[in-house]
Chains A and B, each alone.
Chain A
Amino acid sequence: MTNIYAALEIGTSRTVLAVGEAQSGQRLRVTSHAEIASAGVRKSQIFNIAMSSQSVKSVLKEIERNQLEKGTVINIENAFLVVSGQHVKADRFQGSAQIARRKVSAEDMEEAARNARAMPLPRDRELLDIIEGNYSVDGYGGTTTPEGISGQIIRLDTIHVHAEANRINDARTAAGEAHLELREPLFAATCAADAVLSDAERRDGSLVLDLGGGCTGYALYADGGLAATGVIGVGGNHVTNDIACAFQATQAQAEELKVAEASAIVGADPDAAPRIQIPGSSPLMEQRTISRHALDTVVNARCRELLAIIRETVEEAGLLHRLHAGVVLTGGGAALRGFADLARRELGADARLGFPSQVDGLEDAAFPPSFAAIAGALMYAHRNYEEKSLFQTIFGGFRK
């Protein structure tokens, strides 16, 4: 039995859609994926429904074209939504329960978990994920297996990731106008981590940075579980804008400079030409050359600042010296030349690009780390809906 899932991300820079297939209990394979430039999105928030709806329609068409080339016909009617943006927050909660018969039983653990899951959120927030941590019994804790321990109160630490409900609804509206129903919203950073990290890396301590256009999501793992997660409202578009501002270039020219020439480390390539030519953007702004050193200085300042914020965040969690498995970079921003090296220097840990190694089928993508979040969302769908025999529901969304 083959299960089929789809996931959509409406990002600041690009709108991405991917379809994955898997046999029950088997590894997931991404059978088709497409991305197009986003419109109507600013700092990860939709500000023009019609424009972003058009982006969704275009990416749907692109997927259909891909499928046709492969000789299959698929009509995607629903997809899981990958969410990021400054409005995403993560809070720690504790669920507790009275231990019924002096020793912790499975029922007590389940009640504590149930109470943690039932923790109310303000009306304007929508829950994206609840990540369960360790249990404690009468204040003594740090275990995932408290069964049989004597005590009176059992508590479970959880992290609740939630987002502004209106922002999710905007995405639903935009997708709805493209005749695509959105299923559960999922947090981009933890989805990306699912796709790129192994269990051993989670245990040893690792940090996943999902570098988007409008923001950067992070997910910090230690002892096998999520220790902290959140979003910093700085992304690749800030780098682009800094370049545009420094060299009086258009956003398009600045983006081109960032992708083709810029480096996060000043003087990284001693053989590179010291001047870079950029075409004129208006009759008054003729073709000219700019200093590579100045370009890299601008980009370096922004990247170092972002990494300093991340360093502060990891330090607050007390885990800066426990990133034994290093820093893993995902998202389109990870393609910036020299960023991994800079991360290594600024965070004092090994840094690498995050290829979605937990799924197959993305080997042909132009830059696989930029598909990590969406691959993680497909893995979530496979993990949670296959086991609950929701095949019919999912299958109903796809007419072959």
Chain B
Amino acid sequence: MKRDSTMLLIGVGGAGCTMVRGILSRFGGELRHLLVDTDAASGDDGQPEFLLLGAERLSGRGTGGEIVSARLAAEDSASKLDEFLAGVRLAVVVAGLGGGTGSGATLEIVKHLATHGIVSIVMATTPFAFEGEGRHRNSRGVAAMISDAANATILVPLDHLAGGCDEMAAAMRVGLDTLAAAATMFWRLVETPGYIRLDAERLRRMVQSAGRGRFATVCTGGPGRAERAVEELVRSPTLADGTNQVRSIICGVLAGDDLRLAEIGTVADGLKTAFGGGKCDFELATVNDEQTFRGKLCVVALMFEAPAQQQTQEKEGSRSTRKRKAAEDRRRALIPNSPFSNSAPTIWNDEDLDVPTYLRQNITLEF
């Protein structure tokens, strides 16, 4: 276990712990990590870096899907968590949202990290579309709060990670594996020396005010592998999730000794053009590991979106803004000096209810 690293990987809840184990087995080397759960069974494999949350409150039985119990358990164990945080400056928290511990404890842990000045990036899965409304509601409710509390958040619907699987168990496994693979590559970029290295402190600075993000990974081989990698990334459902403009891209290229400079250029230019409109911050790192990546070219892309307010400013003058302004002008013309002219409109089924009904419904009045 590499205790001198300033980066800590934290897996929260059942899904989070599974993902961390996947990352550890893939990474193959020492990686500073911590498993956190309310269910004692998650620490059954003798992992020394395991923290049982709310041991007194829940007796290691888990929360039964209850978010509040998980939050309280995490609060109870805050001082024990501190024992694992010495020297940490950047924490990557992985979890599955929708259940109790993954949702509730993640929120409290991220808040606790912030009180120690530790920058946090949360990578979490959200439930499959077919899962119960209760899990979706848990996930939706807590996701907004986690986004508020964490420096950067990447939420990925499990549906997008487990695209082609028919069986539930396989879909879940593939989903968690994919996220684990992405996090592993991300770790390699920082911890493994490469020609172009991503410094942990530089990464921390980028993540500090990153906000909402998305990610994708791809591995290709053979002739034209760089072009194909870009094509697959552009088509990736996880990168298509975002609605806002991309503000910064962190891109990692992992390959063997045969990595060519032109391939790095192809990947970098392709991503910048496809997602950033050529204007976003771009950070690139490479890993050259002949043993692991021989003949392969793997790319991990993390993208962070501009905050909504910034988006609005940037879009000023665009066609949609002009359209909106024209609609607003029409509305004001229809209701001059009305009691609603300086207030937020009442919208129902895309209709502005502040505009008189007889006007909107084209009712002819017999004066």
Contacts and interface: CB of A to CB of B under 8 A. Distances in A.
Nearest to B104: A120
B217 interface: no
A298 B340 contact: no
A1 interface: no
B45 to A, nearest CB: 25
B65 A242 contact: no
Nearest to A93: B137
Contacts of B367: 290-291, 294
A301 B359 CA distance: 10
Given A97-B66, A241-B356, A305-B357, A246 B365 contact: yes
Given A43-B343, A115-B68, A122 B353 contact: no
Interface stretch (B6-14, B180-188, B282-290, B331-339): B331-339
A179 to B, nearest CB: 29
B346 interface: yes
A242 B344 CA distance: 18
Given A122-B144, A241-B356, A294-B366, A301 B361 contact: yes
Contacts of B361: 301, 305
B365 A241 contact: no
A245 B334 contact: yes
Interface string A272-308: 0000000000000000001101100110011001000
A42 B66 contact: no
Interface in A225-247: 232-234, 237-238, 240-242, 244-246
Contacts, number: 103
Interface string B50-68: 0000000000010011111
B106 to A, nearest CB: 13
A120 B343 CA distance: 29
Contacts of B346: 43, 86, 232-234
Q: How large is the interface on A (under 10, 10 to 19, 20 to 34, 35 or more residues)?
A: 35 or more
B145 interface: yes
B194 to A, nearest CB: 41
Given A122-B145, A233-B346, A294-B366, A238 B353 contact: yes
B358 A120 contact: no
A298 B358 contact: yes
A96 B359 contact: no
Contacts of A246: 356, 358, 365
Interface string B139-168: 001001100100000000000000000000
B134 interface: yes
A206 to B, nearest CB: 24
B341 to A, nearest CB: 10
B356 A293 contact: no
A166 B84 CA distance: 38
Interface centre among B134, B353, B357, B367 (most CB of A within 10 A): B357
A120 B357 contact: no
A245 B141 CA distance: 42
Given A94-B134, A115-B69, A291-B367, A120 B145 contact: yes
A153 interface: yes
Contacts of B343: 42-43, 45, 47
A98 interface: yes
A251 interface: yes
28 contacts: A42-B340, A43-B344, A43-B346, A47-B342, A47-B343, A86-B344, A95-B66, A95-B68, A96-B65, A98-B61, A115-B66, A120-B141, A122-B144, A123-B148, A232-B348, A234-B346, A241-B335, A242-B356, A242-B357, A245-B335, A290-B367, A291-B365, A291-B367, A293-B366, A294-B366, A298-B358, A298-B365, A305-B357
Interface of B: 61, 64-69, 71-72, 134, 137, 141, 144-145, 148, 334-335, 338-340, 342-344, 346, 348, 353-354, 356-359, 361, 363, 365-367
Given A291-B366, A297-B358, 11 more contacts: A43-B344, A93-B137, A115-B66, A115-B69, A234-B353, A242-B357, A246-B365, A297-B366, A298-B357, A298-B365, A302-B358
The 9 tightest CB contacts between A and B, nearest first, are: A233-B346, A242-B356, A294-B365, A301-B357, A118-B68, A302-B357, A301-B358, A115-B68, A245-B356
